Structure formats: C-alpha cells, structure tokens
C-alpha cells in the first residue's frame, strides 16, 4: 500500500525523486536548442494554502520501505471561474517494467497503471 507525506521540493528525499523525474523528461526531448530545460520547483509555491508537494511512500522489490514517487499541486493565476491549481512534477518509479500500483483509502476501486503493449493502433481500428 502506498501512503503520502508532505515535503518541500528542497527536501533531500524530494530532490532525489525530482532528479529522476527531470532525467526522464530530458530523455524525451531532442538535443540542441529544443532540449528540455529543467525548471526547479520553488518551495514557496508548494506551501499551504497555495500548494503542496507530496512524496509517495511504498516498498521496493525487496519489500523494504522506500520513496516511490512524488508530485506537487500549486495555485496558478485565477481564471474566469475563480481559483485554479495545476499538478506538477508527477513521478512514479518503475521497477522491472512494472509500474507501482497506487491506491487511496478513499477510492472504492484503486486505479491500475498498466504498461502499454504497443504504440501502434490495431488493424482496422480508427487512428
């Protein structure tokens, strides 16, 4: 079971997870002028009441406690309907091709994150 704890992005455990997040993001971008630009999260944007940064705690493959993910919610400029927030730096560790299952006691059916088998559409299916 995965649990959560709040932390600031400058926290040592958060830094480790954010480094892995930024490395994974950079791999998806080309080199050169279009390369991924790392933007460090600012602690003030992830303090209540304007935001929160969370670290997911779970178990590694050996069954030992480990930090397995992170993410933050921060307030952005108000829109026509009022206050708005955005989800930033969502990261969940992968082990051996499996994705960690996450659940919350408030959910009746926990979501299951599965790896895609193929990126190409099936024959006869619309694109």
Question: How far is it, in rounded angstroms, from Cα 95 to Cα 115?
Answer: 12
For 63-119, what is each residue's pLDDT tens digit? Answer: 788 899 999 999 999 999 999 999 999 988 875 344 444 444 444 444 444 443 433
pTM: 0.70
How far is residue 38's CA from residue 30's CA, in Å, rounded to a whole number? Answer: 14
The SS3 assignment for 107 reads coil
* % of residues, the chain, pLDDT over 90: 50
């Amino acid at each position: 079971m995965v649990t959560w704890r709040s932390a600031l992005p400058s926290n040592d455990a958060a830094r480790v997870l954010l480094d892995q997040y930024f490395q994974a993001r950079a791999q998806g971008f080309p080199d050169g002028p279009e390369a991924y630009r790392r933007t460090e999260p600012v602690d003030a944007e992830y303090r209540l009441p304007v935001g929160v940064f969370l670290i997911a705690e779970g178990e590694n493959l050996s069954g030992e406690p480990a930090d397995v993910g992170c993410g933050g919610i921060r307030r952005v400029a108000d829109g026509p309907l009022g206050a708005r927030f955005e989800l930033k730096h969502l990261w969940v560790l992968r082990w051996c091709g499996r994705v960690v299952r996450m659940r919350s006691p408030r959910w009746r059916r926990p979501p299951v994150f599965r790896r895609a088998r193929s990126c190409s559409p099936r024959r006869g299916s619309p694109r």
